[in-house]
Amino acid sequence: MRQDYWAKKAKLKGFRSRAVFKIMEIDQKVDLFKNVKSILDIGSSPGGWSEYASKKCPNKNIFAIDLLEMEPVDNVSFFKADIKNIDQIKAVNDKKGTFDLVISDLAPNITGIGAVDNESILELNMLTLEIAVNLSKTQSKFLVKTFQNNNFKYFRSFMEKKFSLVQNFKPLASKNRSSEIYLYGEN
């Protein structure tokens, strides 16, 4: 498979994946890590976002969760678990109400059947939003990957009920043909 520009650049710079450039660009626009002390990375593997968060916020509390393994990242506590069972992770639940920032580059396994994939995406987005709201401080930030599909406006409307500011981002590192889009919310 031919690597694209962003994948090559990630490899050249020693990043785990091209995804780091997506969070980097969004961070430059909204100052994502400003005044952040505690971070939760949902769907963290292979760890690019956790690695970037660790560099931006050294000596802060960073927790990461994913079904897939993730190579260790300095200053990040990783839990191999399903986010549906996040309430069973004691270390994360002990921090309930303290997270300043929840980030998620999570996506379901795509089947190629539009209706099924759209519902899977919405289900994961809603679960991630619920986790963010339940575990975060009142004044918090949330960044989530979603997709431009028939559920996008529906999901965005739920975010607008939970956050005073909601913005869309389509980073340059997103593949042109991809319908992925990032929603950022803050209070």
What CATH number does residue 27 fall under?
A: 3.40.50.150
What's the confidence (pLDDT) of residue 4?
Answer: 83
Predicted pLDDT at 177 = 81
pLDDT at 109: 87
d(CA 110, CA 16): 22
pLDDT at 40 over 60: yes
**In the chain, how many domains are there?**
1
CB neighbours of residue 146 within 10 Å: 25
The answer to whether the Cα torsion of 112, 178, 15, 54 is positive or negative is negative
pTM for this entry: 0.93
Determine the pLDDT at residue 1. 44
Which token pair is 158?
């739920």
Tokens 């994939």 found at: 117
Angle, in degrees to the nearest 10, between helices 5-13 and 19-30: 90
Establish how many alpha carbons lie within 13 A of residue 101's alpha carbon, considering only the half-sphere containing its beta carbon: 27
Q: What is the pLDDT of residue 9?
A: 85
- What is the token pair recorded at 74? 């300095």
DSSP secondary structure letter of residue 112: S
Full domain range(s) for residue 88: 5-186
136 vs 9, more confident: 136
Q: Give the pair of three-digit tokens for residue 103.
A: 């980030």
CB atoms within 10 A of CB 20: 23
List active site positions: 145
Mean pLDDT throughout 41-57? Answer: 95
